[in-house]
Amino acid sequence: FSPFIYKQLVNPDQEICEKEKLDVILKLCAGMTTSLLKALIQRLSNEQVLTENTKYLLENTNLALCFEHDRKLYHELFDTISLIPNLTYTDLQLILKLSTESTKKSFSRQELFPETLLLDLIALEQ
């Protein structure tokens, strides 16, 4: 990432009000799932509440692709969210929805490409 993008993603104090700017940042991160997950994890580790911009970033990130590319970081993302001290009931509903939808999408793609499942099984054995 460029320093600007990283700063916008990591620092919740750098709240961008316009959703269009967040969309541009996400487009610039396309294909960089590992770096994006690391930046989101860093951002979330500094939050006391789940901010509106963080929710927007999570809702508009291709979490299914993140799950497929790096399951360890994907799980770390949700573990980090669970440690935010002031999550609301609505926040928890959103997080459950995002987690469920992303894994469903990932597994439905694996049905289209069964060799992915075989590769996952091989990776689990190692």
Tens-level pLDDT at each residue, the chain (126 residues): 788 888 878 876 666 567 888 888 899 888 899 999 999 999 999 899 999 999 999 999 999 999 989 999 999 999 999 999 999 999 999 999 999 999 888 766 555 455 555 444 444 443
**Which pairs from 26-32 meet CB under 8 Å and 24+ separation?**
26/57, 26/60, 26/61, 28/1, 28/2, 29/1, 29/5, 32/1
DSSP H/E element including 24: helix 19-28
Question: What is the per-residue pLDDT for 5?
Answer: 84
Question: pTM to 2 decimals?
Answer: 0.80
Q: What is the pLDDT of residue 82?
A: 94
Residue 104 has which token pair? Answer: 């469903």
